[in-house]
DNA sequence: AATCAAAATGTAAACGTTTAGACTTTAATC
DNA sequence: GATTAAAGTCTAAACGTTTACATTTTGATT
């Protein structure tokens, strides 16, 4: 693989001159530039980014840390970051690590070792403390889908609680009174917040949630099916379900119909996230849109320092509100 | 950011010794190792991978080139590569580039500049010639989802034609005789090959495809819907459809049911790819499994030289055969 | 022809590592 | 206590760039 020296020698100039040509530097004569360019092409020269990064202390890369790529939600996140990377002619460094606290730490360390100065991090396992430490070490680190007071202006997050409220308001406005919930069995913040908001809104309307109308399971299609069976087994009526995410909601609808319930005629179902799936299901799913790609793009810009970090409104960081997407799985109580 | 020199100075040893500690090298005393380790932790030292890559000429990274991440198919591909990267403690370098020939070239160049020595490439736009050139320049380059004779043993691909045959055999075995096809409007090899295999198989059984039973549209949900409308408009009967991919197939089913046809009772539908979606649709989709993640893992291992490249059977490179997944959208002709 | 500023080009140090090879210490053997 | 092999440690060059600064060339002005 040809180096800058090879090019310099063959062109009869110094490496400095070649470097200037490569970087479109200013002080180089036209004929020289042409000659060097020709030789570069001839030799198939590609500058060594590692050497460059070493001396300039800039890595020309944009990092992103997510649990894994198979989940379309995270794929969208990564895609948002990638979009910004491409816009800025930077290389995307993707680090996956979810299974454990240790692997999240590893994922960030990997990027640190490559001196990646702008990183969008999605982390659920690392402690607030450790994230704050990383953030102090890396000025261009931003945190997505999580809020930590101490680094508020580096946090891009969704107001899950408000999402729960919006779902509740929607179902109430359709005249439903006997509500049920299907949640994720994993004790992370997201489900807790969503259902907190949901319940609070019910309370405000003088309604409440029966204990056996709140069930939990795996946050996927099967989990939704199992959870719905539990709900049906409890033998008390419900006319609407707020489900933790779209995959579970689709599982729920499937089980409901297998048991003779029409959606939305007999039971309205509302999901959360608005993943691709929700537009492919029948009936098409009413859900809350989680603008993850948009958030990821914003996060990436912020990490790159492209955004004059706007005074964060009352120390809330950069908060997004989910938007109700009415489709076919909810309807007026009949 | 602390460097190896800072650590060396503080520990009162040479950088060579610190380097040996960092790399778990052999010749270093126990007390020294302990002291250096302590100081590294205290200083929050992270070795600079760029400097390392420069001197060792090894980048500890695994590259992957795909069109984009939002398509679950490519996300799975990337995920397979990432899995191998993690297993080998390497960083994934993801380069997207699909829109144009130029951006595919860019994507590969990016990786080249980072001296990434193992790359899994998905490319549809670059010419055979150019890919061969890249492959010669980068010994660890492998090509996925495409076959080029000259670099056969670096190609990992799916036999699309055989897939078409399998689909045809399946539908014929169910007793269907009036077959229709929905294809992608994009003139790349994949659809052409799939339908070539399909038609050949029909011919062998003495059947043929009516011209207006072959329609094309965008390879997505809407495209499937539109294509099906065209099919229905032609007003000739068909009892089974072979659809280019799962997304289109789901759109097709949706339109069929809207028009009073039951799937699979009135019409059997078979898709291709076996994406997540196909398990979520109702009826669950019968389709051909495209083992892309498995192929990607294999490709990554091959790129890393972890696999003693098995003598490729009759110069076909590494060929995979799609597998029929019978679910609910096809059934015996009633 | 001499002068000079501007433009073009070159020199050399620096970036943070790794790793031969040289040197020093340790401890076992006589 | 001398000898020696092994174990531990250090020195210094190298990797491929960029870039301040120095030097040379160019061409206009006198």
* Half-sphere exposure in the Cβ direction for B330 (13 Å, CA): 28
Contact B93/A95, CB-based, under 8 Å? no
Share of residues in chain B with pLDDT > 90 (%) = 81
pLDDT of residue A28: 85
- In the sheet with B179-184, reading across from the earlier edge strand, the strands are B214-217, B179-184, B240-243, B268-270
Considering only residues A170 and B308, tell me which one the structure prediction assigns the higher pLDDT: A170
**Is residue B109 scored above 60 in pLDDT?**
yes
**Is residue B309 scored above 70 in pLDDT?**
no
Structure tokens at B183: 């294809």
Pick the CATH number of B59-158+294-319 from 3.40.50.2300, 3.40.50.720, 3.30.530.50, 3.30.70.270: 3.40.50.2300
Chain B nearest-CA residue for A248 = B280
**Is residue B272 scored above 90 in pLDDT?**
yes
Contact B68/A86, CB-based, under 8 Å? no
Hey, what long-range contacts does B10-13 have (CB within 8 A, 24 or more apart)? B10/B39, B10/B43, B11/B35, B11/B36, B11/B39
The residues of the protein lying within 7 Å (CB) of strand C read: A 12-17, 20, 26-33, 51, 54-55, 57; B 1, 3-5, 15-16, 19-20, 22-23, 45-48, 51-52, 54-56
Through-space separation of residue B19 CA and nucleotide C19 C1' in angstroms: 10
pLDDT of residue A37: 95
**Is residue B263 scored above 60 in pLDDT?**
yes
Contact A70/B93, CB-based, under 8 Å? no
Q: Greatest CA separation found in chain B? A: 87
Q: Smallest Cβ distance to B91: which of A48, A114, A282?
A: A114
Angle at A47 between CA A43 and CA A52, to 5 degrees: 160
pLDDT of residue A312: 63
Q: What's A12-81 look like in SS3? A: CCCHHHHHHHHCCCCCCCHHHHHHHHHHHHHHCCCCCHHHHHHHHCCCCEEEEEECCCCCHHHHHHHHHH
Residue ranges for chain A with pLDDT beneath 50: none
pLDDT class of B211 with cuts at 50, 70, 90:
confident
pLDDT class of B308 with cuts at 50, 70, 90:
confident
Nucleotides of D under 7 A from a protein CB: 7-12, 14-20
pLDDT of residue B311: 57
pLDDT of residue A184: 96
| A-B contacts (CB, under 8 Å) | 123
Which site among A252, A280, A296 would you substitute to test the B interface, given the most B Cβ atoms closer than 10 Å to its Cβ?
A280
Contact A70/B54, CB-based, under 8 Å? no
Backbone angles phi, psi at A90, to 5 degrees: -120, 160
Instruction: State the virtual CA torsion across B111, A60, A116, A87 in degrees, nearest 10.
Output: -90
Residues B274 and B287: beta-carbon distance below 8 Å: yes
pLDDT of residue B37: 95
Through-space separation of residue B301 CA and nucleotide D7 C1' in angstroms: 38
pLDDT of residue A63: 96
Which site among B23, B47, B48, B50 would you substitute to test the A interface, given the most A Cβ atoms closer than 10 Å to its Cβ?
B50
- Report the C-alpha gap between B163 and B157 in whole angstroms: 12
Mean pLDDT: which of B27-31, B236-240, B258-262, B322-326 is highest? B322-326
Assigned fold of B160-290: Rossmann fold (3.40.50)
Range A60-158+294-319: architecture per CATH: 3-Layer(aba) Sandwich (3.40)
pLDDT of residue A282: 85
Which site among B91, B139, B274 would you substitute to test the A interface, given the most A Cβ atoms closer than 10 Å to its Cβ?
B91
Backbone angles phi, psi at B162, to 5 degrees: -60, -35
Residues of chain B with CATH 3.40.50.2300: 59-158+294-319, 160-290
Set of chain A residues whose Cβ sits within 8 Å of the Cβ of B50:
49-51, 53-54, 59, 114-115
Set of chain B residues whose Cβ sits within 8 Å of the Cβ of A68:
79, 82
pLDDT of residue B310: 65
| Chain B interface with A: residues with Cβ < 8 Å | 1, 44, 46-51, 53-54, 59, 68-70, 72, 75-76, 78-79, 82, 86, 91-96, 109-110, 112-115, 137, 221, 247, 250, 254, 257, 276-277, 279-282
Contact A115/B79, CB-based, under 8 Å? no
**Is residue B65 scored above 70 in pLDDT?**
yes
Considering only residues B307 and A143, tell me which one the structure prediction assigns the higher pLDDT: A143
Chain B nearest-CA residue for A276 = B277
Q: Smallest Cβ distance to B54: which of A51, A221, A279?
A: A51
**Is residue B71 scored above 90 in pLDDT?**
no
Backbone angles phi, psi at B98, to 5 degrees: -130, -40
Beta bridge partners, A289, equal A273, A323
Distance from CA of A103 to the nearest CA of B (A): 10
pLDDT of residue A294: 97
Residues of chain A with CATH 3.40.50.2300: 60-158+294-319, 160-290
Share the mean pLDDT of chain B: 93
pLDDT class of B70 with cuts at 50, 70, 90:
confident
- Report the C-alpha gap between B101 and B65 in whole angstroms: 13
Pick the CATH number of B4-47 from 3.40.50.20, 1.10.260.40, 3.40.30.10, 3.40.50.800: 1.10.260.40
Residues of chain B with CATH 1.10.260.40: 4-47
- Report the C-alpha gap between B263 and B251 in whole angstroms: 12
């Amino acid at each position: 693989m040809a180096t800058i020296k090879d090019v310099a020698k063959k062109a009869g100039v110094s490496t400095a001159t070649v470097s200037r040509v490569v970087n479109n530097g200013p002080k180089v004569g036209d004929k020289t530039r042409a000659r060097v360019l020709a030789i570069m092409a001839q030799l198939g020269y590609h500058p060594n980014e590692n050497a460059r990064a070493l001396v300039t202390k800039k890595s020309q890369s944009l990092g992103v840390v997510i649990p894994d790529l198979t989940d379309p939600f995270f794929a969208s996140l990564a895609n948002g970051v990638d979009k910004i990377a491409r816009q800025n002619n930077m290389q995307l460094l993707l680090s996956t690590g979810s299974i454990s606290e240790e692997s999240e730490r590893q994922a960030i360390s990997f990027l640190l070792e490559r001196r990646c100065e702008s990183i969008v991090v999605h982390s659920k396992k690392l402690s607030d403390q450790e994230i704050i430490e990383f953030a102090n070490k890396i000025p261009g680190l931003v945190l997505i889908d999580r809020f930590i007071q101490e680094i508020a202006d580096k946090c891009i997050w969704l107001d899950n609680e408000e999402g729960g409220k919006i779902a509740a308001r929607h179902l109430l406005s359709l005249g439903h009174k006997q509500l049920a919930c299907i949640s994720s069995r994993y004790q992370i913040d997201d489900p807790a917040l969503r259902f907190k908001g949901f319940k609070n809104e019910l309370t405000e309307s003088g309604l409440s949630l029966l204990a056996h109308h709140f069930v939990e399971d795996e946050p996927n299609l099967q989990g939704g099916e199992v959870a719905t069976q539990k709900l049906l087994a409890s033998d008390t009526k419900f006319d609407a379900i707020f489900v933790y995410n779209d995959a579970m909601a689709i599982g729920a609808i499937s089980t409901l119909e297998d048991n003779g319930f029409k959606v939305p005629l007999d039971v309205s179902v509302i999901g959360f996230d608005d993943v691709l799936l929700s537009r492919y299901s029948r009936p098409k799913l009413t859900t809350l849109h989680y603008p993850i790609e948009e958030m990821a793009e914003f996060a990436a810009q912020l990490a790159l320092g492209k955004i004059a970090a706007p005074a964060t409104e009352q120390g809330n960081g950069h908060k997004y509100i989910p938007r109700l997407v009415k489709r076919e799985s909810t309807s007026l109580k009949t």
